[in-house]
Amino acid sequence: MSNMPRVGETAPDFEATDDKGSTVKLSALKGSPVVLYFYPKDDTPGCTTEACSFRDAHEEFEKKGIKVMGVSVDSEKSHTKFRDKYNLNFTLVSDKSKDIAAKYGVLSDRGVASRVTFIIDRKGKVAHVYEKVTPKDHSSEVMNKIVELKLA
């Protein structure tokens, strides 16, 4: 995957709509660590497993002031259904234009986002990139890395 931001680089900013119809701007979250995870499609087995792992760990992320955002090319409506079906308690960002996935170098040949996670530090810099993600244990893997990097 080309043009993927590397550790130490500024995470590309974006503005998009979330599952609640609100505008989300990455640069507005400076001051908080952000877990930006890209996934292929709402309500598919791997993506649901990954989303539910972040849902179940949400309290721990929130206590440490960490924002979690899932990004796919699905519509806001699809995100809302996905959120409601699984009681997801973090932001789902709609990237219908595929601009965000392209900026992060994670747009697959199939035109969906690949399963890649970026940990972004308080200053808006990429602190870690997971190019290979196992959905089941991903949220604890991410939390351990955030602790190890002393980001929260």
76: domain CATH number is 3.40.30.10
Query: Is pLDDT at 1 greater than 80 in this prediction?
Result: no
pLDDT, position 2: 59
- Domain around 67: 15-148
Residue 26 lies in a domain: yes
Residue 52 is a catalytic residue: no
Give me the catalytic one of 26, 34, 35, 47.
47
Question: For the segment 44-59, what is each residue's pLDDT rounded down to a tens digit?
Answer: 999 999 999 999 999 9
Question: For the segment 72-103, what is each residue's pLDDT rounded down to a tens digit?
Answer: 999 999 999 999 999 999 999 999 999 999 99
For the whole prediction, is pTM greater than 0.85?
Answer: yes
Residue 4 lies in a domain: no
pLDDT, position 144: 96
Question: Structural domain tally of the chain?
Answer: 1
Residue 36 lies in a domain: yes
Residue 109 has phi, psi (to 5 degrees) of -60, -25
Please provide the DSSP assignment of 60-116 as one string.
HHHHTT-EEEEEESS-HHHHHHHHHHHT--SEEEE-TT-HHHHHTT-B-TTSSB-SE
